[in-house]
Chains A and B, each alone.
Chain A
């Protein structure tokens, strides 16, 4: 019943794009399409939440579609239900936002047809129960999001971003295809049900893990496969960026969880090592890249890379505990990872909405051209601040809870028997702490430079607050961020069904009955967290301080010149800039992480020219991995090009040579 409601919602969504657009006139189509998608997403979200909270048995459905003898299998278990809820929550928020934001699109028809299909495809990936439907939906998701990325195809860099995205998406799908081929075995058991019961030899299992990490990881944006992500995500319209960053990467995480935890069979302990190292590297490098960015949307996209790293750390810990049958640890780590999936989808969508609002109001993405927006866009600024605090893992917001849970899982890692893990996990913990601190620095920069200070350009002066729909969507997500942070017990309880399914029966103790809405993952003796008390305390103390300051301080308003570093020229350009903010961190990490080079150009004595500071950053990963691949492909194709212009006899000779080679191979191989 629930499953068929979900599938019908998907069908309605997909039809929305095809049916409404031709009927409506050009500019009225947007609200209708987004409205329909909003309704479908809300229904799907409610259905998934109902299934998740009822704890009902998995539902299955087979439709006579796709490959004739296979059909299309769908299944709604707790894991799918959770991800359906995440996808549709993000989808509903993005649709609400887009009702307002979409009006300002210059060419809405480049976005509208693909948007519903993109959401429906993400839902189908999560609901799929055989390899064919999964891969079909996965590829549909990639292609429709590619079309959305290319919506502003004339903008500079979009064509390159789309091309790299398409190549990486094709590579990822190929890896997943091969992984499913291995899982299906020689008999071609392509349903997930058959894969769950099949047993693979360990060498093939390892190969499956590597292929899935490449395939699902490239979509999620793990280092070093992240190169497409910061190019493609910002290039799309902002509501689509929010979906790609907040939701599509989660679908990729789902792919990893589905295959590694439920299909590939019992994991080996060193899988955890691989996943943990990838997670740690992704988290630290993602945030370091983000710090160097001055483009608001690109900064957010790099933060997606960082947060995927945090989720991978949680999953790696879960694998480590699971192989050692420490089921409570596995449950804790999985809860942390899934909680972070939800959190990231909330605050990253919120932040992208905020950046979209700024983009709409000023036409600028570069922070160096913004500033002072808090007075002109108060609602956007407030919600963006909540998002920044949440992604920086500040209590009492939701980001803190999931990172705190991850740290709790790291703290019980001495129970692990393998010495490799005993040493690795604390190191990963340090990396996680570093990335959290750097993220906080990064969002101080993002918020401070964009919203505080004085406007740096006329565009920023002329900014106005965005429309009510967009503000509503941002406020909705901000409230959810606060609620999930203050009442984490409810989320943890909702996740317990998913965790039980993945760890064969164990989950964290029920949190909803605890006094004062505390969160006690293991036992009160070890650790507990109470968001509500913290919120009350913070509200109380800050109110107290504000009131006492008002009472005790002078009431007279005093206006004085702002401190201007001793320069008499009060131009807004003399303000602290994003580049200035990042400089100390660039000096510390830039040398080895980016081969950063600074060059100061001092004018000759007597010259009237300004001094200039040039900063050059290089992406190591692009230089080491992708540039050589690019060069090798270019070289090979250049050489193979001559094959186009051979004589008939040379072609015959080639065929003959190939035949002889194969026959000799056959003769020698026997």
Chain B
């Protein structure tokens, strides 16, 4: 493992974590979607770099899929949904941005503390890669928990999935078939979720999931 390959891989997956953290404090939907597209683009770069240093051409396909679907198709589709739903207003975060960011940083520290000792036998690149991937997954989960708007929950879910792909690309050996099927299932999930979003809006005049809870009679 020569220095440059390691440094670039490190840089790319590190920036993925950084963008995940950026996702946490976006309080407008458009900027959230833009940052998410950015996230996917960096994922594509990271996977492509892995393809290059591992000499694994099928990973280029993975990178291309990530770039095309997650970098372009999904953000554009979500943009149009937000436009048609007419929700360009501010997102309410539940916990508040400061504590969320602090918690996110704590999660990154936690995943590094967990992953580095566990993967001691693996080489340094894989170690770093897995630690970053876990932090991306945890940050995505955190986003799903803290957000109240259905669209931003979808974004959280998709960024979580990006973390999984990063881990798989670093671990040398996710077969292409699996990658493609995941990509398609994510796309189908997007379609289903989109349909649901419109259904929810038709029914309740909002996509704030808080209203769903109220409808179930759980909260006044």
Question: Which A residues contact B (CB, under 8 angstroms)?
Answer: 645-649, 652-653, 655-656, 659-660, 663-664, 666-667, 670
Q: Which of B113, B117, B144, B219 contacts A652 (CB 8 A)?
A: B144
Contact B209–A653 (Cβ < 8 Å): no
A348 to B113, CA, bound (A): 66
Contact B107–A653 (Cβ < 8 Å): no
Contact B219–A647 (Cβ < 8 Å): yes
A663 to chain B, nearest CB (A): 5
A653 to B141, CA, bound (A): 9
B110 to chain A, nearest CB (A): 6
Contact A670–B110 (Cβ < 8 Å): no
Contact B216–A647 (Cβ < 8 Å): yes
Contact A659–B141 (Cβ < 8 Å): yes
A655 to B212, CA, bound (A): 20
A321 to chain B, nearest CB (A): 53
Contact B145–A663 (Cβ < 8 Å): no
Query: B213: CB under 8 A from chain A?
Result: yes
Q: A663-B110, A663-B111, A667-B114 are in contact. Are A649 and B141 (CB under 8 A)?
A: no
Query: B167: CB under 8 A from chain A?
Result: no
Nearest B residue to A646 via CB reads B218
Chain A residue contacts of B117, Cβ below 8 A: 667, 670
8 interchain residue pairs of minimum CB distance: A667-B113, A647-B213, A653-B145, A667-B114, A670-B117, A663-B114, A656-B141, A656-B145
| Interface magnitude class on chain B | 10 to 19
A659 to B107, CA, bound (A): 11
Nearest A residue to B120 via CB reads A670
A652 to B118, CA, bound (A): 26
A352 to chain B, nearest CB (A): 56
A647 to B117, CA, bound (A): 36
Q: A653-B145, A656-B141 are in contact. Are A647 and B111 (CB under 8 A)?
A: no
Contact with A along B201-220 (1 / 0, CB 8 A): 00000000100110010110
Chain A residue contacts of B219, Cβ below 8 A: 647
Nearest A residue to B219 via CB reads A647
Chain B residue contacts of A648, Cβ below 8 A: 209, 212
Contact A660–B107 (Cβ < 8 Å): yes
Contact B145–A645 (Cβ < 8 Å): no
Chain B residue contacts of A649, Cβ below 8 A: 144-145, 148, 209, 213
Chain A residue contacts of B111, Cβ below 8 A: 663
Instruction: Provide a sorted-by-A list of 7 A–B residue pairs whose CB atoms are within 8 angstroms.
Output: A647-B216, A652-B144, A652-B145, A656-B145, A663-B110, A663-B114, A667-B114
In addition to A649-B145, A649-B148, A667-B110, 17 A-B residue pairs with Cβ atoms within 8 Å of each other are: A647-B209, A647-B219, A649-B144, A649-B209, A649-B213, A652-B141, A653-B145, A656-B141, A656-B144, A656-B145, A660-B110, A663-B110, A663-B114, A664-B110, A666-B118, A667-B117, A670-B118
Chain B residue contacts of A666, Cβ below 8 A: 114, 118
A96 to chain B, nearest CB (A): 64
Contact with A along B98-137 (1 / 0, CB 8 A): 0000000001001101100110000000000000000000
Q: Which of B107, B114, B142, B212 has the most A CB atoms < 10 Å from its CB?
A: B114
Within 8 A of A (CB), among B141-156: 141-142, 144-145, 148
A663 to B112, CA, bound (A): 11
B149 to chain A, nearest CB (A): 11
Across the A-B interface, how many residue pairs have beta carbons closer than 8 Å? 41
Nearest A residue to B117 via CB reads A670
A647 to B217, CA, bound (A): 10
Chain B residue contacts of A670, Cβ below 8 A: 117-118
Contact B114–A647 (Cβ < 8 Å): no
A99 to chain B, nearest CB (A): 62
A653 to chain B, nearest CB (A): 5
Chain A residue contacts of B212, Cβ below 8 A: 647-648
Interface of B is mostly: helix
Chain B residue contacts of A656, Cβ below 8 A: 141-142, 144-145
Nearest B residue to A664 via CB reads B110
Nearest B residue to A666 via CB reads B114
B146 to chain A, nearest CB (A): 9
A341 to chain B, nearest CB (A): 55
Chain A residue contacts of B141, Cβ below 8 A: 652, 655-656, 659
Chain B residue contacts of A655, Cβ below 8 A: 141
Q: Which of B107, B113, B218 contacts A647 (CB 8 A)?
A: B218
Chain B residue contacts of A667, Cβ below 8 A: 110, 113-114, 117
B102 to chain A, nearest CB (A): 14
Within 8 A of A (CB), among B134-178: 138, 141-142, 144-145, 148
A655 to B118, CA, bound (A): 22
A474 to B111, CA, bound (A): 74
Nearest B residue to A662 via CB reads B114
B104 to chain A, nearest CB (A): 12
Chain A residue contacts of B142, Cβ below 8 A: 656
Nearest A residue to B107 via CB reads A660
Q: Which of A653, A659, A666, A667 has the most B CB atoms < 10 Å from its CB?
A: A667
B174 to chain A, nearest CB (A): 22
Chain B residue contacts of A646, Cβ below 8 A: 218
A666 to B216, CA, bound (A): 37
A502 to B115, CA, bound (A): 54
Nearest B residue to A668 via CB reads B113
Chain A residue contacts of B218, Cβ below 8 A: 645-647
A276 to B20, CA, bound (A): 66
A656 to B160, CA, bound (A): 13
A670 to B118, CA, bound (A): 8
Chain A residue contacts of B110, Cβ below 8 A: 660, 663-664, 667
B193 to chain A, nearest CB (A): 13
B209 to chain A, nearest CB (A): 7
Nearest A residue to B156 via CB reads A652
Nearest B residue to A655 via CB reads B141
Nearest B residue to A647 via CB reads B213
B151 to chain A, nearest CB (A): 14
Nearest A residue to B216 via CB reads A647
A646 to B145, CA, bound (A): 13
B10 to chain A, nearest CB (A): 22
A484 to chain B, nearest CB (A): 67
A646 to B218, CA, bound (A): 8
Q: Which of A649, A653, A660, A670 has the most B CB atoms < 10 Å from its CB?
A: A649
Nearest B residue to A651 via CB reads B145
A660 to B134, CA, bound (A): 11
Q: Which of B138, B145, B218 has the most A CB atoms < 10 Å from its CB?
A: B145
A16 to B118, CA, bound (A): 60
A649 to chain B, nearest CB (A): 6
Q: Which of A656, A659, A664 has the most B CB atoms < 10 Å from its CB?
A: A656
Nearest B residue to A653 via CB reads B145
Chain B residue contacts of A653, Cβ below 8 A: 145
Chain B residue contacts of A660, Cβ below 8 A: 107, 110, 138
B60 to chain A, nearest CB (A): 32
A666 to B110, CA, bound (A): 10
Chain A residue contacts of B114, Cβ below 8 A: 663, 666-667
Chain A residue contacts of B144, Cβ below 8 A: 649, 652, 656
A667 to B112, CA, bound (A): 9
A545 to chain B, nearest CB (A): 86
Q: Which of B141, B148, B216 has the most A CB atoms < 10 Å from its CB?
A: B141
Chain A residue contacts of B213, Cβ below 8 A: 647, 649
A666 to B134, CA, bound (A): 14
Chain A residue contacts of B216, Cβ below 8 A: 647
Chain A residue contacts of B145, Cβ below 8 A: 649, 652-653, 656
Within 8 A of A (CB), among B169-207: none
A647 to B218, CA, bound (A): 8
A666 to B112, CA, bound (A): 12
A667 to chain B, nearest CB (A): 4
A496 to B110, CA, bound (A): 66
Chain A residue contacts of B209, Cβ below 8 A: 647-649
A655 to B209, CA, bound (A): 18
Chain A residue contacts of B107, Cβ below 8 A: 660
A663 to B135, CA, bound (A): 12
